[in-house]
Amino acid sequence: MFKVRIEKLRKKITQLGLDAFLVMAPENRRYLSGFTGSSGVLLITKNQNFLLTDFRYIDQAKIEAPDFQVIRYDGSLVETIKNILERLFIETLGFEEDFITYKQYRELREGIPKIKIFPEAGLVEKIRMIKDQEEIATIARAAKVADEAFNYILGKIRPGLTEIEIALELEFFMRSQGASSTSFSTIVASGARSALPHGVASEKLIEKGDFVTLDFGCIYQGYCSDMTRTVVIGEPDRKQREVYQVVLEAQILALENIKAGMSCQEIDALSRTYIAEKGYGQYFGHGLGHGVGLAVHEHPSLSPRDNTELVPNMVVTVEPGIYLPGWGGVRIEDLVVVEEAGLKNLTDSPKDLIVI
């Protein structure tokens, strides 16, 4: 599995005319090597794979990343890289421009002046967009834990609890099901706060009449899940029903039409146009969705600005929303696998407006 991934990257490196490539992004490091530690870089050359890490991770790296020569560095990472590059007569080195600090960049330039270095963006990320069956099974498991957490929390939400207390219950439940952590800061946004698309749980009390938006997910064996449901406390008024219905129909429209061959822009436009036709266009200000995998936000992005073509086994969210400042908001989010003729929905929680 890792060999296949490395070969895909190696092909790209060769096409770019590079002798070697430095991988610094934590998710890319894990994806290519299997190494789960928090510190280290990969150096992939035309025919060798190196994993450079420090004392704390040497044994772990040897076990987790058998396809790599594990090299320990104690002082300067750049010095260690330099030694390898000189020994192998490497002349051109690519690096990930989104995952290097200015200091590291300066040290590379100044420490290895004879080597030409080239910034690259998204080389490994583009490979990561299309998941293998094992990855999909793991993401499905992470999504199931989130579904079960939603079902559990429905029995707990009541007026008088704080958003933080609800978030804690969700998180405790997911951890108890084998999740190693949440995939991002749990969003519990109630009442007027539900108009904040990323309203991380606060000390606000849940009150009668509130919309409560729950956006959460977990990390299970390294892979993320992400889902959102909005529930209402007490009987909804007309406007709440209307806004909820528009978001739900916009989401279903996208879900019913997604299939391989469409572009991310096209699928985003389906929901966006629908919401605009209903008069709420200016209140849906974010993209329709995003890729999910080792990272909770990854390529591609279902947005007006991404023309990537959907390909089978991409895993993306579909999450339209309407946010009315001072009033509240609704978002509904599922995690789906793109297939040749449609999709497989990994999120199974009910979507009709739940009244608590």
CB 28, CB 128: distance < 8 Å:
yes
> Quick one: how far is CA 335 from the chain centroid?
11
Cβ proximity to Mn ion, 171 vs 226, nearer residue: 226
Cβ proximity to Mn ion, 70 vs 295, nearer residue: 295
According to CB under 5 A, which one of 107, 147, 171, 226 is a site residue for Mn ion? 226
Q: Least distance in Å: CB of 120 to Mn ion? A: 27
Cβ proximity to Mn ion, 49 vs 317, nearer residue: 317
Cβ proximity to Mn ion, 125 vs 226, nearer residue: 226
Total residues in contact with Mn ion, by rule CB under 5 A: 2
Q: What is the signed CA dihedral for 91, 97, 103, 107, rounded to 10 degrees?
A: 0
Q: Quick one: tokens of 344?
A: 């497989």
Q: Least distance in Å: CB of 184 to Mn ion? A: 8
Cβ proximity to Mn ion, 169 vs 226, nearer residue: 226
Q: Least distance in Å: CB of 214 to Mn ion? A: 12
Q: Least distance in Å: CB of 235 to Mn ion? A: 29
Q: Least distance in Å: CB of 296 to Mn ion? A: 7
Cβ proximity to Mn ion, 34 vs 217, nearer residue: 217
> Quick one: how far is CA 208 from the chain centroid?
33
Q: How far is CA 68 from CA 41, 62, 63, in A?
A: 11, 8, 10
CB 83, CB 57: distance < 8 Å:
no
Name residues contacting Mn ion, limited to 297-336 (CB under 5 A): 317
Q: What Rg value do the Cα atoms of the chain yield, rounded?
A: 23
DSSP code string of 246-284: HHHHHHHHHHHH--TT-BHHHHHHHHHHHHHHTT-GGG-
DSSP reduced 3-state for 235: coil
Q: Least distance in Å: CB of 23 to Mn ion? A: 25
Residue type present at position 332? I
17: left (phi over 0), alpha (psi -120 to 50) or beta: left
Q: Least distance in Å: CB of 217 to Mn ion? A: 8
Helices (H), 183-263: 238-257
Cα–Cα distance, 115 to 91 (Å, whole number): 5
Cβ proximity to Mn ion, 27 vs 226, nearer residue: 226
Cβ proximity to Mn ion, 226 vs 268, nearer residue: 226
Taking residues 171 to 210 in sequence order and writing x for each that binds Mn ion by CB under 5 A, - otherwise, the string is ----------------------------------------
Taking residues 263 to 302 in sequence order and writing x for each that binds Mn ion by CB under 5 A, - otherwise, the string is ----------------------------------------
Q: Quick one: tokens of 336?
A: 């789906």
Taking residues 26 to 65 in sequence order and writing x for each that binds Mn ion by CB under 5 A, - otherwise, the string is ----------------------------------------
Footprint on this chain of Mn ion (rule: CB under 5 A): 226, 317
